[in-house]
Amino acid sequence: MKTKAFRFSFIILALMCSFQLKSSAQVWQPDNGDGTYKNPIIFADYSDPDVIRVKDDFYMVASSFNCAPGIPVLHSKDLVNWTIIGHVYEKLPLERYNHPQLGEGSWAPSIRYHNGKFYVYVCTPTDGLFMASTTDPSKKWDMVQVADVVNWEDPCPLWDDNGDAYLVHGKVCAGVLYLHKLSSDGTNLLDNGKVIFDDAKSQPTIEGPKFIKKDGYYYILSPAGGVETGWQAALRSKNIYGPYEQKTVMHQGNTSINGPHQGGLVETQTGEWWFIHFQDRGAYGRIVHLQPAEWVNGWPIIGKDVNNDGIGEPVMTYKKPNVGKTYPIENPQTSDEFNSDILGLQWQWWANPQAQFYSLTANKGNIRLFAQQVLTESGNIWYAPNLLLQKFPAPQFSGTTCLTLHSQKDNERAGLVIMGQTYSYIAIEKSGKGYTISQSIGNNQNCGGTPKEIKNVTVDKSTVYFKVNVDQNALCTFSYSLDGKNFIPLGKEFKANKGKWIGAKIGVFCINPNVEKSDNYCDVDWFRIE
């Protein structure tokens, strides 16, 4: 009896420890575990989200701008618990994106499902309108350029009841919505388009339109008023070409959620309606919220109309969507042991990925980052295409990595970086007979400049552990360790900030700022978010 009791106790203890480890590894948890959730549902920069349901599955896409692979595809069973299942493209099919094109790339994609196929439409500000399609959103998408245009943004298709197809989109900085006829396969525009909404006085900066049809009305859900302070507008008409009535259906109201807008409206299997949108949180990017929606007099009121003014306000906690079942807690991926031959879906490069950037097979259990040349301003990594980055995952967290530098050249360096309009990193480089660890700060303001070294120390090992702690005000402190246990602070506190249309990112890099090329590299053993 004593032996059985001991074994039983041991099993229970092991299960408890396993649960605690799993729980502590996730730094932001929206599912409260009691049938309710809290906002945001993803405390990370999934900007301009759009969402659809296909049978019992929900799919979300978001902007990527210059980062690649681009347009992440996320999956959920209940609209609260999400994981990344893929990307729409590995790289943009344009050579100039082999170098960082900050603020460009994919803007506000839309996702739709029609006749057994998934479609994503997206514009870049200078390269045109693109469409990607697939029968499995977790696998390869086929992308085509629909139109070679400039200054279009935020496209969304609609297949009408009779099979006719249309495309609505905005225009950069114009606050105008256009409508085009679209070929049934979605690959060609059939006309020059018509302006269907232009009312800058009542809905300034209208953009991000999302098209749906319900109860004989065509609805366009559009954000207005600007990213940080805007609101969600809805337009409706019995005729797809208008005229469109308009109504504000969600605003900040008396809440702390600034600029709640731009997202997708979706219906569950049980007939509930929900709206996913973003909130701009500065360095943390445009984080994702989930709001209940209710149809009142033919309008979708989003959030809760607490003031009885016909306009919804965001909720912070609420009962989870009724999808007919209860599903396990899941979250977008963060930490990586680099044990797979495929790069983790949480990672994006600062520009189009190239084969020479890395290897996951050269030293199994590590990602090998090859030292790419960055001659601009002696290694201003704003211009480095091979930064391996992921989004800030929570209001406060720590990121830790273990890496080994394999280089005999001065100035070549590898490290851990917080990347934004300004950036800071802790790095190791070969120096004389030993190695130097330093913290540096750089920027892209006034055309950038050489990163400024804040402080350095000399060490005798090429394998180091780097850590950065990020507090709830996005203040970052760097430290290093030679044994993985005792971490020593280095340099000064750094205030993370957003980049060009994106939130700050955390990641690793290996660069060569010298004019002479090299075959050197660093091996990153693991990267962990806690």
In order, the DSSP letters of 403-461 are EEEE--SBT-EEEEEEESSEEEEEEEEEETTEEEEEEEEEE-GGG--PPEEEEEEEES-
> How far apart are alpha carbons 227 and 389 in whole angstroms?
24
Q: Which residues contact 142 (CB under 8 A, 6 or more apart)?
A: 132, 133, 134
> How far apart are alpha carbons 284 and 506 in whole angstroms?
11
Cβ neighbour number for residue 399 with a 10 Å cutoff: 25
> How far apart are alpha carbons 444 and 308 in whole angstroms?
47
Catalytically annotated residue among 31, 154, 207, 313: 207
Catalytically annotated residue among 31, 45, 48, 523: 48
> How far apart are alpha carbons 314 and 274 in whole angstroms?
12
Q: Which tokens belong to 161?
A: 């009841």
Angle at Cα 529 formed by Cα 406 and Cα 452, nearest 5°?
A: 55
Phi, psi (5° rounding) for residue 173? 65, 10
Cβ atoms of residues 406 and 359 within 8 Å: no
Q: Which tokens belong to 422?
A: 């300004």
Cβ neighbour number for residue 118 with a 10 Å cutoff: 21
Could you identify the residue written with the tokens 């495309």?
A: 167
Cβ atoms of residues 65 and 501 within 8 Å: yes
Own/partner pairs for 431-434, CB < 8 Å, 24+ apart? Answer: 431/458, 434/458, 434/459, 434/460
Burial of 30 (0-12, 13-18, 19+ CB in 10 A): buried
Phi, psi (5° rounding) for residue 19? -65, -40
493 belongs to the catalytic site: no
Entry field: residues in the chain: 530
Q: Which tokens belong to 289?
A: 């919220």
> How far apart are alpha carbons 207 and 233 in whole angstroms?
10
Q: What is the amino acid identity at position 390?
A: Q
Phi, psi (5° rounding) for residue 148? -90, 90
Burial of 330 (0-12, 13-18, 19+ CB in 10 A): middle
> How far apart are alpha carbons 274 and 268 in whole angstroms?
8
453 belongs to the catalytic site: no
End-to-end, the C-alpha distance of the chain in Å comes to: 40
Residues marked active site are found at 48, 207
